[in-house]
Amino acid sequence: MRLRGKREAAATALNKQPAVHPVFILIAIIAVTVILLGLVNHFTAARIEGIREERAYRSMLAVLPAADIFTPVPYTGNKVEALYGAYSGTELLGHVAAVTAQGFGGEISMTVGVDLDGKVTGVDIVSHSETPGVGSAVTEQDFLSRFVGKSGTVTVNAGGNRIDAVTGATLSSKAVAAGVNAALSAVASLG
Amino acid sequence: MKPLGILKNGLITQNPVLMQLLGLCPALAVSTSLKNAVGMGIAVTAVLVLSNLLASLLQKPVPDKIRSLVHITVTAGLVTIADLLMRAYFPDLSASLGIYVPLIAVNCILFARAGAFASGTPPLASVLNGLFMGLGFTGILCAVSAVREILGNGTIWGVSLFGGGYPPALIMLMPAGGFLTLGFLMAAAQYAGRRNHP
How does pLDDT run across B41-60, given as a tens digit for each residue? 999 999 988 988 888 888 88
Asked if residue B191 is part of any domain, the answer here is yes
Range scoring the smallest mean pLDDT among A137-141, B19-23, B87-91: B19-23
Asked if residue B9 is part of any domain, the answer here is no
Indicate if the pLDDT at residue A105 is higher than 80: yes
Query: Which among B63, B77, B87 has CB closest to A22?
Result: B63
Contact B62 A30 (CB under 8 A): no
- For residue B94, CA distances in Å to A41, A96, A107, A137, B13 come to 16, 26, 19, 22, 31
DSSP B154: S
Instruction: Give the containing element (helix H, strand E) for A124.
Output: strand A120-127
Confidence class for position A14, pLDDT limits 50, 70, 90: very low
Confidence class for position A115, pLDDT limits 50, 70, 90: very high
- Residue A73: give the domain boundaries: 1-191
What distance in Å separates residue A30's CA from the closest CA in chain B? 7
Determine the residue among B69, B83, B97, B166 to mutate to test chain A binding: the one whose Cβ has the most chain A Cβ atoms within 10 Å. B69
Partner residues linked to A83 by β-bridges:
A73, A97
**Phi and psi dihedrals of A76, rounded to 5?**
-110, 5
Q: How many domains does chain B contain in total?
A: 1
Enumerate the residues of chain B whose CB falls inside 8 A of the CB of residue A29.
Answer: 58, 62, 70, 73-74
Contact B88 A36 (CB under 8 A): no
Enumerate the residues of chain B whose CB falls inside 8 A of the CB of residue A12.
Answer: none
**Res A175: pLDDT:** 93
CA distance linking residue B22 with residue B126, whole number of Å: 18
Q: What is the pLDDT of residues B83-132, one digit of tens each?
A: 999 999 999 888 888 888 888 887 766 656 665 666 678 888 888 888 88
Q: What is the pLDDT of residues A24-38, one digit of tens each?
A: 889 999 999 999 999
**Res B64: pLDDT:** 80
Asked if residue B10 is part of any domain, the answer here is no
**Res B26: pLDDT:** 82
Enumerate the residues of chain B whose CB falls inside 8 A of the CB of residue A51.
Answer: 87-88, 91
Asked if residue B32 is part of any domain, the answer here is yes
Q: How many domains does chain A contain in total?
A: 1
Contact A36 B77 (CB under 8 A): yes
Q: Residue A29 is which amino acid?
A: I
Range scoring the smallest mean pLDDT among A10-19, A67-76, B142-151: A10-19
Confidence class for position A15, pLDDT limits 50, 70, 90: very low
Contact B80 A25 (CB under 8 A): no
Instruction: Enter the pTM of the model.
Output: 0.77
What distance in Å separates residue A189's CA from the closest CA in chain B? 34
Range A29-49 average pLDDT: 94
Dihedral of alpha carbons A172, A175, A179, A184, sign: positive
Range A129-138 average pLDDT: 80
The B residues from 78 to 117 touching A (CB cutoff 8 Å) are 80-81, 84-85, 87-89, 91, 95
Runs of H (alpha helix) within chain A: 2-13, 22-63, 141-144, 170-188
**Res B116: pLDDT:** 64
What distance in Å separates residue B30's CA from the closest CA in chain A? 13
Asked if residue B2 is part of any domain, the answer here is no
- Residue B54: give the domain boundaries: 18-195
CB-based contact B82:A40 (threshold 8 Å)? no
Please give the share of chain B, as a percent, with pLDDT higher than 90: 20
Asked if residue B6 is part of any domain, the answer here is no
Range A40-68 average pLDDT: 92
**Res B119: pLDDT:** 65
**Res B115: pLDDT:** 58
**Res A41: pLDDT:** 95
Asked if residue B1 is part of any domain, the answer here is no
ipTM value, please give it: 0.76
Indicate if the pLDDT at residue A60 is higher than 80: yes
Q: Which among B169, B183, B173, B185 is positioned nearest to B29, based on CA atoms?
A: B173
Enumerate the residues of chain A whose CB falls inside 8 A of the CB of residue B81.
Answer: 36-37, 40
Enumerate the residues of chain B whose CB falls inside 8 A of the CB of residue A23.
Answer: 66
Enumerate the residues of chain A whose CB falls inside 8 A of the CB of residue B62.
Answer: 25, 29
Indicate if the pLDDT at residue B21 is higher than 50: yes
- For residue B156, CA distances in Å to A3, A70, B32, B85, B90 come to 55, 38, 10, 27, 20
Residue B74 forms contact with A (CB below 8 Å): yes
What distance in Å separates residue B73's CA from the closest CA in chain A? 7
